[in-house]
């Protein structure tokens, strides 16, 4: 009886040990989770401050409460995306990207009722679903990374210059459609993500450098096809870099106000009441979305701003550690692609508030008000957890092992 009892407990014990081993492997993903949760909660608080008028009962304002609901929904998606093995998403990635492309095309169809597709700041980027808005370009980020990672996982042709054409075509389709909305800011984020994936997949650096050089050479021609407001943003940025203040009350008003308010927090920030007062009298445009970093700097000073950068750094490092610990190419490239998207978006999002990049309308991950952005960023965390929890099969082919030629 004792032997039978021991044998009956052995499978359960093995399952416990296997689960403990999986959790032990996912400690880098825990870093990503902790950073994402801290940033999300900080975002709710910053949005509440940006609301300016605090309710008389001391409760959070409507925008902060809405963001809190978005966070709850995001955490549900975070759990759901962990359940299937992550390689399942590889097989479904092309279908998911095709659906995203159809949504992007739908946004551009003339004659769609304004109650369904309402332009905001001149961009047709959202589908009105009643209680909330759906931004297809956000979901396209995940579909795009899955498709490129699935395509490159066992290939070698991207080591040649002509082999870079298929990933470029895959990139051009969503980027072109998002640019036509026009949402140049979001479209630009796909390029750093692609380069990060290609580098991790073993593409030759000399080919990538050549592509960058050609892009820089073509930049003046690209400027000619930009819309007037996009050209004005770039012209305003150039004036700021020259120290010219002639446009500070015109095209550079938002940028100058964001910089001034970000500096007003000093080292450790101002009180909540003082922060709300400054935001009220300075009327910073898009303070809940594009310029949320300035709100954080008012409240918590430059030390708080550095803390935010530290949390993003923790997310970034945790994701790359997950990539390094994953012995399967598809999962590794997914992590690298997500890290590329986050790094580019954080640089631009913070750079807009500090006046080092033109204002191009990009949310700051986890911090800015917006359901689509928050849900997608938490889907990324769920996918990273999924990759960390599952040890790949030993029968999988090895990849990305090349000579030292660059």
- Enter the tokens of residue 288: 């809940």
Amino acid 22: pLDDT:
53
pLDDT at residue 21 tops 70: no
Span 263-309, pLDDT tens digits: 898 899 899 889 988 888 888 888 898 899 999 999 999 999 999 99
Closest Cα to residue 194, out of 325, 331, 338, 82? 338
How does the average pLDDT of the chain come out, rounded?
84
Tokens 């400027």 -> residue: 223
| The pLDDT of residue 5 | 37
Tokens of 118: 């309402």
Write the pLDDT tens digit of every residue in 299-346.
999 999 999 999 999 999 999 999 998 888 999 999 999 999 999 999
Could you tell me how many residues make up the chain?
Answer: 406
Domain ranges of the chain: 25-389
Average pLDDT of the residues in 194-203: 89
pLDDT of residue 177: 92
Q: What is the 3-state secondary structure (H, E, C) of the chain?
A: CHHHHHHHHHHHHHHHHHHHHHHHHCHHHHHHHHHHHHHHHHHHHHHHHHCCCCCCCCCCCHHHHHHHHHHHHHHHHHHHHHCCCCHHHHHHHHHHHHHHHHHHHHHHCCCCCCCCCCCECCECCCEECCCCEECHHHHHHHHHHHHHHHHHCCCCHHHCCHHHHHHHHHHHHHHHHHHCCCCHHHHHHHHHHHHHHHHHCCCCHHHHHHHHHHHHHHHHHHHHCCCHHHHHHHHHHHHHHHCCCCCCCCCCHHHHHHHHHHHHCCCCCCCHHHHHHHHHHHCCCCCCCCCHHHHHHHHHHHHHHHHHHHHHHHHHHHHHHHHHHCCCHHHHHHHHHHHHHHHHHHHHHHHHHHCCCCCCCCCCCCCCCCHHHHHHHHHHHHHHHHHHHCCCCCCCCCCCCCCCCC
Return the structure tokens found at 29.
């993903």
**pTM of the full structure:** 0.87
Lowest-pLDDT choice from 78-87, 208-217, 387-396:
387-396
pLDDT digits (tens, 9 = 90+) for 239-257: 777 777 777 777 878 888 8
Cβ-based neighbours of 18, under 8 Å, separated by 6 or more: none
- Mean pLDDT is lowest, of 193-197, 271-275, 313-317, 356-360, for 356-360
pLDDT of amino acid 406: 58
Alpha-carbon gap, residue 33 to 383, rounded angstroms: 11
**What tens digit of pLDDT does each residue of 25-36 get?**
678 899 999 999
pLDDT of 3: 37
Peptide bond into 291 cis (omega under 30): no
Contacts 24+ apart (CB under 8 A), 298-301: 298/49, 298/261, 298/262, 298/264, 298/265, 298/269, 298/270, 299/46, 299/49, 299/265, 299/269, 299/270, 299/272, 299/275, 300/265, 300/268, 300/269, 301/265, 301/266, 301/267, 301/268, 301/269, 301/270
Residue 58's pLDDT is 64
Residue 216 has pLDDT above 80, yes or no: no
pLDDT, one tens digit per residue, over 122-165 is: 788 888 887 778 899 999 999 999 999 999 988 777 778 888 88
Compute the C-alpha angle 326/329/331, nearest 5°.
55
């Amino acid at each position: 009886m004792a032997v039978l009892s021991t044998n009956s407990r052995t499978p359960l014990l093995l399952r416990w040990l296997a689960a403990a081993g999986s959790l032990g492997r996912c400690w880098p993903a825990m870093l990503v989770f902790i950073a994402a949760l801290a940033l999300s909660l900080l975002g709710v608080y910053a949005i509440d401050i940006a609301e300016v008028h605090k309710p008389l009962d001391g409760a959070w304002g409507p925008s902060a409460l809405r963001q809190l609901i978005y966070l709850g929904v995001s955490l549900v998606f975070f759990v759901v995306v962990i359940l299937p093995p992550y390689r399942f998403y590889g097989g479904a990635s092309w279908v998911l990207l095709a659906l995203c492309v159809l949504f992007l095309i739908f946004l551009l169809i003339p004659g769609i009722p304004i109650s369904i597709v309402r332009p905001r700041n001149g961009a047709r980027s959202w589908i009105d679903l009643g209680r909330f808005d759906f931004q297809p370009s956000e979901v396209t980020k995940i579909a795009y990374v899955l498709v490129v990672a699935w395509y490159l996982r066992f290939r070698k042709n991207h080591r040649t210059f002509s082999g870079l054409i298929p990933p470029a075509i895959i990139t051009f389709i969503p980027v072109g459609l998002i640019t036509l909305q026009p949402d140049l800011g979001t479209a630009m984020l796909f390029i750093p993500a692609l380069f990060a994936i290609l580098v991790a997949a073993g593409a030759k650096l000399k080919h990538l450098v050549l592509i960058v050089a050609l892009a820089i050479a073509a930049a003046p021609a690209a400027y000619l096809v930009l819309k007037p407001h996009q050209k004005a943003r770039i012209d305003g940025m150039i004036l700021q870099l020259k120290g010219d203040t002639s446009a500070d009350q015109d095209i550079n008003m938002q940028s100058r106000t964001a910089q001034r308010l970000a500096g007003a927090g000093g080292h450790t920030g101002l009180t909540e009441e003082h922060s709300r007062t400054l935001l009220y009298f300075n009327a910073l445009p898009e303070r809940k979305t594009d310029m949320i970093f300035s709100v954080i700097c008012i409240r918590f000073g430059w030390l708080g701003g550095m803390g935010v950068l530290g949390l993003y750094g923790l997310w970034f490092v945790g994701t790359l550690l997950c990539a390094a610990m994953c012995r399967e190419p598809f999962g590794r490239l997914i992590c690298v692609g997500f890290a590329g998207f986050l790094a580019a978006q954080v640089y631009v999002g913070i750079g807009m508030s500090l006046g080092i990049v033109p204002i191009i309308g990009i949310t700051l991950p986890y911090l800015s008000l917006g359901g689509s952005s928050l849900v997608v960023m938490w889907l990324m965390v769920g996918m990273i957890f999924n990759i960390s929890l599952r040890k790949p099969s030993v029968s999988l082919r090895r990849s990305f092992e090349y000579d030292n030629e660059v």
